[in-house]
Structure 1
Amino acid sequence: MQNDTVKCGLSEQNDSRFIDTIEKEAYVWCETDWKHDDHEHSHQRSQLTFVEEGYQYFHIDQKIYIVPQHHVIWIPSGKAHRISSEARTVNLMVFLFKSVFADEFYRHIHIFTAPTVLKEMLLYASKWNQLTEKDEEQDVFFKAILKSLPNFCRESSFLEIPVPSDARLIPVCTYIDSNFKYSLNTADLAEKAQISVRSLQRIFKSETGITLQKYLQLVRILKSIELMDTGRYTLSQIAYKVGYQSLSAFTSSYYSIMKSKPKVKK
């Protein structure tokens, strides 16, 4: 049984899988003020998403990735994912490829800043928005974009927040997510997990690959990106709101994760 929902040219089935009836090797789907749903889905095309405005969360394999403005994310074919965002406006360009080159790059998730050349190429490609008929120039142009991606992605520096599968750690993450402004009290967190402090630290690192302190830092930076997007606060105000005692400490922490300086959206 199939419903009438069509997203990016693909028809969605009730099991959150998509039917691909488009014969083209690749096409682009642009939308302003992107509307989100809250369920996981997959499709048999590799996906390159460019965040033209706002920011986007991608929930993939027990991790939450944030893709800021002017960044791209590459998602291999068949990889289940869910999207969400709290941004005021989200403008996305989604490129869908039926086949890719025989390179290890295309088998993994990548997030990186779109260099000026790539950004201009992606924006130029919007002239073919939602075009599903064959177009020779578009075919050649999209193949050039696809072929160049590994070179544009020299170093993938992005915000990736792991989500533990151990149920005992969920209350811990939930508490940190809500109280990120404050310093960690590992004894209180261990009590919430109903395990010892030593066990909490060991299990959390084993489950997520990072320490509790690192998790707190990632959450703070994620929240700062949300606040910067509103355009309502100065960087100093944002630094305080997410738990830093000084702008310099916040800037240093932000740069260590995002490899760029924080900037308030105007």
Structure 2
Amino acid sequence: MERARFCHLTVDSIEKEAYVWHEADWQFSDEWHAHEMGQLIYVEKGVQYLHTADRIYLLPTHHCAWVPPGLLHRTSAPVNPVYLRCIFFSKSGTDPFFQDLKIFHTSPVLREMILFTQQWSRLQDFDPLEADFLKALSGILPFTFQSSLPLVLPVPQNPRIRTMIDYLTEHYFQELKIPEVAARFNLSARTMERLFKQDLGITVAGYIKLFKIIKAAELLSNPGENVKSVAIQVGYDSVSTFSNTFFKVLGIRPQELIPT
């Protein structure tokens, strides 16, 4: 493994209050890790998944994530390359914004500030202008943040549920009938629903719908995709039904996630 290519192996050794790392072809590692520094991620191109012990978060193109210090996580991407612009902070504020992992829209002013930090990418020496600028950027994060996007899937803890979810996610684009799926695992539909609710706090149909919408959000970040094409790929015959379901789940319309 090339040590310099994986930020989680090196970033905590940087003796600065804030550190910029932009990478046009981010190399993902399957290793679980945590940073002593908090991490702001902006996806310039592609999509990224952030995995924690009990959640999977999707970070689409032109959106941001905040990863608080000390949170154990790993990352992945369905398609490469992924262009990430990251800024690490050894000191984050006391505002509730900094306490939890969150996915959120990037305001125009925040995006411009992140792009401006390109000049300091992987600079290990102290630069007073960089220090002042990044302190200001950290300070505006709670004020530009409006709400988290619910682009998150619960992770099953029960091995039986993991097996069922593997099947559901492999066939999500088909019309899945819950009694038939349950029968594949020698269960009644009622028992399968009970197990899902106990482990994930969500119904089987609710999980399938959420997975489809998050998969759609991922696909919408791909160059050249459109709402109709993505609706069909995730199993919707009607674009209006897809758009309305998308809005009910995420609070935004699918076209809002198409990069411009």
The answer to whether the superposition gives a TM-score over 0.5 is: yes
Which of 4, 7, 10 lines up with 1:6 in the alignment? 4
Q: Which stretch shows the higher mean deviation, 146-155 or 20-29?
A: 146-155
Determine if contact 1:180/1:216 at 8 Å carries over to the other structure: yes
Q: Which has the higher contact order (CA 8 A, sep 6+)?
A: 2
Aligned to 2:31: 39
Shift in alpha-carbon separation, 1:231–1:7, aligned structure 2, 3 A: closer
The TM-score normalised by the length of structure 2 is 0.90
Shift in alpha-carbon separation, 1:19–1:65, aligned structure 2, 3 A: closer
The alignment status of 1:138 with 2:130, answered yes or no, reads yes
- List alignment gaps of at least 5 residues for structure 1: 13-17
Which of 98, 104, 109 lines up with 1:106 in the alignment? 98
Letter matched to residue 229 of structure 2: Q
> Which aligned pairs between 1:42-61 and structure 2 lie closer than 5 A?
42-61=34-53
Determine if contact 2:60/2:221 at 8 Å carries over to the other structure: no
Aligned to 2:189: 197
Q: Which has the higher helix share?
A: 2
Letter matched to residue 4 of structure 2: V
CA distance, structure 1, for counterparts of residue 119 and residue 3 of structure 2:
24
Give the Å deviation of 1:74.
0.7
CA distance, structure 2, for counterparts of residue 172 and residue 132 of structure 1:
47
Identity across matched positions, percent: 33
CA RMSD of superposed structures (Å): 2.2
CA distance, structure 1, for counterparts of residue 69 and residue 208 of structure 2:
32
The Cα offsets for residues 16-37 of structure 1, whole Å up to 9 and x where unpaired, read as xx67221110011000022222
The TM-score normalised by the length of structure 1 is 0.88
Determine if contact 1:49/1:72 at 8 Å carries over to the other structure: yes
Q: Which stretch shows the higher mean deviation, 200-209 or 89-98?
A: 200-209
Letter matched to residue 238 of structure 2: S
> Which aligned pairs between 1:1-266 and structure 2 lie closer than 5 A?
5-7=3-5, 12=9, 20-231=12-223, 233-263=225-255
Give the Å deviation of 1:88.
4.3
Determine if contact 1:65/1:161 at 8 Å carries over to the other structure: yes
Q: Which stretch shows the higher mean deviation, 56-65 or 214-223?
A: 214-223
Q: Which has the higher strand share?
A: 1
